Structure 1
Amino acid sequence: MEKINEKRGNGVALLPFLIFVLIYLISGIILQVKGIEMAFYQFPAPIAAGIGIVFAFILTKGSLDEKFNIFIKGCGDDNIIIMCIIYLLAGAFSSVSSAMGGVEATVNLGLTLIPAKFITVGIFIIAAFISISTGTSVGTIVAIGPIAVQLVEKAGLNLPLVLGALIGGAMFGDNLSIISDTTIAATRTQGVSMKDKFRANFGLALPAALVTIVLLFIFGKPVTIPESQEYTFNIIKVIPYIFVLIAAVSGMNVFVVLTGGIIISGAIGLGYESFKGLEFVQHIYSGFKGMTDIFLLSLLTGGLANMVSSGGGLDWLLYRINRTVKGKKSAELGISTLVSLTDAATANNTVSIIVSGQLAKEISKEHNVDPRKTASLLDVFSCSMQGLIPYGAQLLMAGSFTNGSVSPVQIVPYVWYCFILVIFAILSIVTPFGNRYLAKNPWDFVNNKPVKEV
């Protein structure tokens, strides 16, 4: 049987995904240059994915039924289905809460408590706190996104910058949280403890977060200073958001959190006669419909990714990267590149770690790379890439709250935390920076455990 790092794969299998990405990006760029409003939404992303899928069916070997089964298996992946249900519930919560006046009340409360010049920094810190507590970047964006957009409008802030801060804070926790799927995948594939991986990661994530906070404080001030005024709000209408935040931080299941938020918002809306019973149900369905694009795109890209993987596209990436590894530093750079490209191909950071994990472990053993460092790099680069690809769930979700006024591509340059985290991670590969914990507790490659514990 061929070893994983000896599988040459098939580079041609990557073409369908490349076609999808190029159609999505190039069409948006061309329309943007022509000055067409909402350029990146004129060519629907699910259609671009569909074109890639057609090419995947042409290029993938096997009968039509076999190809279809591979595609459906990818669409029906547990992670994809869970994400899609979260999308629907998030849309319903946003729609019902807005209809009963919750968004306006929460925005006014935020403007009363937080000076406009601190809102951008505040959103990053709050998102970081929620995501590290809950381990979910998408859930964090769902909870804060609608409020952030409204705060931007009232405080005269730069919307792409604020959304970039939100995504950055969300990815901070996704990368660092001990209950995040990415942490679980990284530690399990490398055979290290969550505690050790957290400590190895913390030396990179904290400095990156601090630098981001400083930059947001300097550049996150309002574009226009809003007039001084009193903002009125009904604290009762803020309760659904308080519930969602507290429930999420406490570790409650995201489905229970969002369902509870919908029920509480509906009860308040009915109590204050913001809508009637039938209208409540219609608002829920309206929220569902608002997530149609992202729902379809997630399903289709899941199926496309599985076809690319089945055709040998990911094996080709693994083989090519492994051939370039010559020493410890190049091994760490190879592992980082591997998981980054895999995430770009699958648009799922957890899946990219699982796919890359076994080869990364083999590379680590061969070149004496501390497995705690390997786990850290897998998590850092997968989460950074996930926060920067415009077709990833995080950017798509953030863009969906703007009603088409800001595209995911426009947000990418402002996700400063992810860029800074990558810089610090590369520094940790080529210099001793960020490796203090590993240096104090070196790995015993004979006994496959830390020399000592602290």
Structure 2
Amino acid sequence: MGENKNQKSNGWALLPFFIFVTVFLGAGVILEVQGVDMAFYEFPAPIAALCGVVSAFIVFKGTVREKIEDFIKGCGNEDIIIMCIIYLLAGGFAAVTEAMGGIESTVNLGLTYVPAQYVTAGLFIISAFVSVATGSSMGSIAAVGPIAVGVANAAGTDLAFTLAAVLGGCMCGDNLSIISDTTIAATRTQGVAMKDKFRVNLLIVLPAALLTIVLLIFFGNPETVVEMETYEYNLTKVIPYIFVLVAAIAGMNVFVVLTGGIFISGVIGIFYSQLSVLTFAQQTYQGFSGMFEIFLLSMFTGGLAAMVTKAGGVQFLLDKVQKLIKGTKSAELGIAALVSLTDAAVANNTVAIIINGPIVKEISNKYKIDPRRSAAMLDIFACVMQGAIPYGAQMLLIGTLSGGQVSPLNIIPLLWYQMFLAVAAIISIYIPYANGLINKPPWNWDKKEKEVE
């Protein structure tokens, strides 16, 4: 999927993506105007993606067998499968921890010690920490999302505002995490060490995160001030969340972390007689089933992306952006545009980075952009777009966890962190303050290879 050399350019190859997006967004907008509750979840996203897939089979050249093979290869892309497994594990973890009372205890613990007027900012920080720890925005949303819903309902804060803060925090942590798949993809395609990319990334992220926290403190007050009471909680039932955070910080694989969290939650539930072995298994499977739509959507978009890429659609985007590049600054803006447009098309930040990685490497070499910075820019703008598109897995998951109470149209205008991060990243292009954290000496483009830790 990442091979772009000698790839033909074909603007018409983007038609299936436009059909997918038009069907999904069009149906959501029409239903929203009609006043339908949760309009964007009435029309199944996988069916919209399937419309794009069917159109690709109709308009693209080649035999049916060749098209099927391309589609299956895209569905079976390693990063797509990894994300799908994370969906399942995250769903299982959320379901079991809820069933054994973990969410209730965590919500009550937060309500006990966090003043209601600061709870929204607190959830942003918690989400960021969990996402950094697990390297997964999806897993973090699954863990913190239900808590945020409970906190918002109990404290009287606006639910869309609260979930936007959670989504921002999760994308912040996912962007910074060294064990994130986006970080791995960005650093590998650019040939740099993760810690070097982290240094550049951190100084760009900090102003956006701090500004978001300050504004959440001032504007995250409950709409109706509620009298806080004494809430009962069991610290033992909070252990699964602590385990997930500590284990991930210790460098444990995200699959092991989430699987361990599921089993720890199950053991605690069985110990307190809130689960039996049978109900533990049933709750885990119910959590898996709850992720079916996102699982299917990810596979369909992965297969569609492979077909569109082979037909020259993505190369068309690359060629158009390259024509606008005049120097180093416009080259960095071109990188930002490339990965943003691709992520908007494929709705997967890891896939967007993999697709654009090789061409961004060529742009970096040609215009003397430090690859440690290009890796950071790839990850930043992929996460900004992924955390804002209404049909992205993160937005769909957080909407699902809300129980249908809010739609993407309610959340998108409140995504302050994503907006601030995009502005901070663009400012860093013209005022390269973040480059101070890059190790010296500067990158040597004359060397064909550079040893990377």
* TM superposition score category, shorter chain reference: over 0.9
Q: Specify the alignment match of 1:405 in structure 2.
A: 405
SS class of match (1:148): helix
Using the size of structure 1 for normalisation, the TM-score is 0.92
Instruction: Answer whether contact 2:134 2:244 (CA < 8 A) is retained.
Output: no
Please provide the CA RMSD for this pair: 2.2
**1:88 equivalent in structure 2:** 88
- 1: distance between equivalents of 2:436 and 2:448? 19
Q: Partner of 1:229: helix, strand, or coil?
A: coil
State whether residues 353 and 382 of structure 1, in contact with CA within 8 Å, keep that contact through their aligned partners in structure 2. Answer: yes
Alignment pair present for 1:116 and 2:100:
no
Deviation at 1:114, TM superposition (A): 0.9
Quote the Cα distance in structure 2 between the aligned partners of 1:306 and 1:72: 9
In structure 2, distance between residues paired with 1:120 and 1:377: 28
Matches within 5 A, 1:85-164: 85-164=85-164
Distance 2:284 2:444 in 1: 55
Give the superposition deviation at 1:209. 0.9
Q: Is the 8 A contact 1:5 1:318 kept in 2?
A: no
Three-state SS of the structure 2 residue aligned to 1:391 is coil
Q: 1:253 to 1:443 in 2, by over 3 A?
A: closer
Distance in 1, Cα, partners of 2:48 & 2:224: 37
- Provide, for residues 184-231 of structure 1, a one-character-per-residue CA deviation record: whole Å limited to 9, x for no partner: 322232233333322222221111111111111111111222223111
CA separation of 1:99/1:447 partners in 2, compared to 1, >3 Å: closer, same or farther? closer
Q: Deviations over 1:354-403 (max 9, x none)?
A: 22122222222222223232222112111111111222222222222112
Tell me the secondary structure at the aligned position of residue 324 of structure 1: coil
1:28, 1:411 → 2: CA distance? 14
Letter in 2 for 1:170: C
Task: Kindly state the Cα deviation for residue 143 of structure 1 after the two structures are TM-superposed.
Answer: 2.2
The equivalent residue for 2:301 is 301
User: Matches of 2:64 and 2:420 in 1, distance apart?
Assistant: 45
What SS is found at the alignment partner of 1:68? helix
| CA apart distance, 1:292 | 1.8
Q: Deviations over 1:249-283 (max 9, x none)?
A: 33322222222222222223333332444333322
Asked if 1 retains the 8 angstrom alpha-carbon contact of 2:301 and 2:346, the reply is: yes
- Maintained 8 Å contact 1:7/1:319: no
Are residue 191 (structure 1) and residue 187 (structure 2) matched? Answer: no
Q: Distance in 1 between matches of 2:4 and 2:250?
A: 40
Q: Taking structure 1 as reference, are residues 245 and 368 closer, same or farther at Cα in structure 2, changes over 3 Å only? A: closer
Residues 1:374 and 1:256: Cα distance change in structure 2 (over 3 Å)? closer
CA shift in 2, pair 1:330/1:18, >3 Å: same
Contact 2:190 2:372 in 1 (8 A): yes
- Paired AA for residue 255 in structure 1: F
SS of equivalent to 2:323: helix
Query: SS at 1:224's partner residue?
Result: coil
Residue 203 and residue 255 in structure 1: after superposition, are their counterparts in 2 closer, same or farther (change >3 A)? closer
Aligned in 2, Cα 1:437/1:275: closer, same or farther, shift over 3 Å? closer
Amino acid at match of 2:188: R
Structure 2 residue 315 is the aligned partner of structure 1 residue 315 = yes
The match for 2:380 is 380
Name the counterpart of 2:213: 213
| Deviation readout 1:307-327 (Å, 9 max, x if unpaired) | 111211111111111122122
CA 1:4–1:291 in 2, change beyond 3 Å: closer, same or farther? closer
Cα shift readout 1:301-355 (whole Å, capped 9, x = no counterpart): 1111111112111111111111221222211111111111112222222222222
C-alpha contact 1:88 1:287 (8 A) present in aligned 2: yes
Change (3 A) 1:177 1:237: closer
How many Å separate the matches in 2 of 1:88 and 1:181?
17
Identify the residue that residue 339 of structure 2 maps to in structure 1.
339
Instruction: Letter of the 2:359 partner, please give it.
Output: L
TM superposition shift of 1:4: 4.4
Per-residue Cα deviation, 1:50-101 (whole angstroms, up to 9, x for no partner)? 1111101111211111111111111111222222222222222222222222
2:133 match: secondary structure: helix
Q: How many Å separate the matches in 1 of 2:449 and 2:295?
A: 43
* Alpha carbons 1:107, 1:147 under 8 Å: kept: yes
Structure 1 match to 2:16: 16
Give the superposition deviation at 1:137.
1.9
> Is 2:133–2:245's contact at 8 Å kept on the other side of the alignment?
no
Q: Normalising by the residue count of structure 2, what TM-score does the alignment of the two structures yield? A: 0.92
| Corresponding position of 2:349 | 349
1:271 is matched by which residue type in structure 2?
Answer: F
**Structure 1 residues 272, 196: CA separation in 2 closer, same or farther (over 3 Å shift)?**
closer
Residue 328 of structure 1 is matched in structure 2 by 328
> Which residue in 1 is equivalent to 2:235?
235
Structure 1 unaligned spans of 5+:
none
Q: Which stretch shows the higher mean deviation, 386-395 or 403-412?
A: 403-412
The Cα of 1:111 is off from its aligned counterpart by 0.5
- Contact kept, 8 Å, 2:135 with 2:254, in 1: the verdict is no
AA aligned opposite 1:299? M
Structure 1 residue 285: Cα displacement: 2.3
Distance 2:192 2:264 in 1: 41
Cα distance 1:158–1:324, how it changes in 2: closer, same or farther (>3 A)? same
2:25 corresponds in structure 1 to 25
Contact 2:138 2:394 (8 Å CA) reproduced: yes
Verify: 1:292 aligned to 2:273, yes or no.
Answer: no
Q: Which moved more, 1:441-450 or 1:290-299?
A: 441-450
Match of 2:256 in 1: 256
| Distance in 1 (alpha carbons) for counterparts of 2:382 and 2:17 | 18
Quick one: distance in 1 between partners of 2:66 and 2:437? 49
In the alignment, the residues of structure 2 paired with residue 271 and residue 421 of structure 1 have an alpha-carbon distance, to the nearest angstrom, of: 44
> 2: distance between equivalents of 1:101 and 1:130?
19
The CA deviation at 1:444 is: 4.0
In structure 2, list runs of 5 or more residues that go unmatched. Answer: none
Alignment-mate amino acid for residue 343 of structure 1: D
1:5–1:319 Cα contact (<8 Å) kept? no
Aligned mates of 2:234, 2:203 — CA distance in 1: 42
1:414 CA drift (Å): 2.1
For residue 11 of structure 1, what is the amino acid of its counterpart?
A: G
Distance in 2 between residues matched to 1:4 and 1:303, nearest whole Å: 17
Which deviations, in whole Å up to 9, do the C-alpha atoms of 1:392-435 show, x marking residues without a partner? Answer: 22222222211222233432222211111110111122334444
1:425 aligned counterpart, secondary structure: helix
